[in-house]
Structure 1
Amino acid sequence: EEALRSIFRESPTLIVAHCEDSARINANLERIQKVSPSRGDLEGSLHPLIRDHEACFRSSSLAVRLAREEGARLHVAHISTARELELFNPNDDRITAEACVPHLLFTDKDYATLGARIKCNPAIKTEADRAALRKALTDGRIRTIATDHAPHLLSEKQGGCLKAMSGMPIVQFSLPAMLSLVDEGVLGIERLVELMCHNPARLYGIKERGFIREGYHADLVLVRRKPWTLAKDCVESLCGWSPLEGRTFGWQVEKTWVNGNLVWDGSSFPLPPSGESVGFGR
C-alpha cells in the first residue's frame, strides 16, 4: 500500500486506475478449480465468479481512500458493480468514475449464448449491476462512457475464461449502441454527448476537441434514425466480428469527419487516414 500511496501523493496529474484485487482473483480461481470437473479451461460463465464483485470493490475502495487521503485526482476506469458506485459523489470533481459500453449492454446471462466472446476485465456482471450503472449515467456518479475496445481475432476468443483473451471489439458500434439507451429512456441525448465527448475532453485535458466550437478540430458524426440489424459484413475492424452481431439498432452513423475531413461516407472510407496528434494540457 505504501508504494501506491507514494504514487497518489506525488502524481502531478490525473491518475486513471483499473481496479481489481489480484489476491482475491487468485483465491477465487484456486477455489473454483478445486471443485471444477474440468482439468483445463473453465467455462466462460465462471469469469464473473473469479473476477467477482469483491475483487472490484476492494481495489476501487482502496484507490478512492488513497486519493482522498493524499488529495490526488483519480478517475476509476470501467466500473462494473453497483457497490462500487457507492464510493463516488456526483459533487466531487476530484474522484470520478467511468462506465464502458459492454457493462452497460450485457449481463452475466449473456454468457450462455456468447460465452468468452464477452469475456473482459472487469467481468460482465449481473442485471442489477447493469441497472445501477445505467442509473449512474444520469445522477452524476458516472462521468464518462468509454469502449475498452480490444479487437482480438475470433480465434483468440475461443475457449473458456482461462484460455480466451480478454476484451472485445466495440468502438465501431458504440454510438448506435448507446443511442439505443436514449431510445429506452435511460438518458437524454444531450447527456450522452456530455458523457462520450465533452467530459472525456475535460477530464483528460484534450486540447480543442470534444466540443463544436470555433477554432476546434471538426471531429463530427452525423446520425439518423434508421432501424438496422448488425450483420457480420457490417464490421470494418480487421478482427472481423462483433459481440453485437444480430442486434437491431434504431440509429445509424451516416457520416464521420475527423479534423474536418470526411472519413466515413456511410459505406466506405473515401480518404486516406487524416489523423493528427492529440494535444493535452493540465
Structure 2
Amino acid sequence: MDDVLTTGPFHTVLRSAIAARGLGLERLRDRLAARGLSISISTLSNWQRGVSRPRRPDSLHAVAVLEAVLDLPGGTLGRLLDEPVRGGRSARPPGAEGAPLWQALRLRALFDEPADDGLDVLAVQEDVTVTRFGSTATVRLVVRARRPDVDRHVVLTHGSGALPEIRAGRDCRLGRVRTDPEAALVAAELLWAPLGPGESFALEYHLAADRPELYHGRWCRRVGQHLDLTVRFAPGAGVDQAYRVWRLDGTSPHKDVTRLRVIDGRVHLADYDVPPGFHGIRWNP
C-alpha cells in the first residue's frame, strides 16, 4: 500500500485504499452521505476504475473527505489529481495562481462539517491597509441562515508565501483553526449564538500578513453577494496603478476588469450581485 500511495495513479490509490479499509462502494457512499455529501455508487466506481476523474469543486471537496474516511494522509488523493491523465491532460492546469483548489477543500474538510453549512453570505465589506512589510484587514460579513441552529462559519485565507493570521472581531469568537503551511493557507471557525431559518447576523474578523502582497480580494461562491472593498496604502507603500481583477476559478489567471483611480492613497470598489469567482484589486508599486 505504501508503494501505491507514492506512485499512483489516482484511481489505483483510491481502489487500493477502499480495499485496504474493507469497504464496499455502498458503505463508502453511506459514510460520505453522513458527512453531507451525495456521491453515487456509479461515480465512485468510475473514479476507482479510472473511467473519470473528479474535476468540479464539489467533487474535489468529496476527494478531501474521502481521504479522511479512508484514513489516508492529507493530500494523498488530491496531489494525484495534478498528474496528467494517460493520453490526456491534467485535471487542473499547472501554474494556477494561489493555492491549489484541492488543498483549500482538504483544509475545509478537516472541520468535519456538512458540505452545505446552511448559511448564505449576503454582503462582505473589507478594509485593507497595505504597508511595505505586509497588510492588515478588517472583514465584516452579513450572513443569513437557511436552516435551524446555524452557529458557525469557516473562513479561509491564503498568504503570499507565509501563514496569515485570523482573529475574531465583534460579535463572534474564534473556534477551531487549521493550517496548511506548505500552501500558506489558514482556515478558522467563527462561532456565535444559533440562528433560526431566515435570521440574519453581522460579524467581523481580522486578518494580518507579514509579507507584502500585490493584490487582495476574495472568493464569492454564490450569486447575489454585495462586495465592498477598500485598499489603503501606508506612506512608503504607494502605488502607481490599480485595477479591479476577476477570475472564474482556481485554474484561471486574473483578468483586469477595469482600471481604478488611486485617491489620497486608497482604492475602492463596490458592486452588488457579483457573479461567482474571485473579485479583488491588484496594484503596481
TM class by smaller structure: under 0.3
Q: Which has the higher strand share?
A: 2
Give the TM-score of the pair, scaled to structure 2: 0.26
Give the TM-score of the pair, scaled to structure 1: 0.26
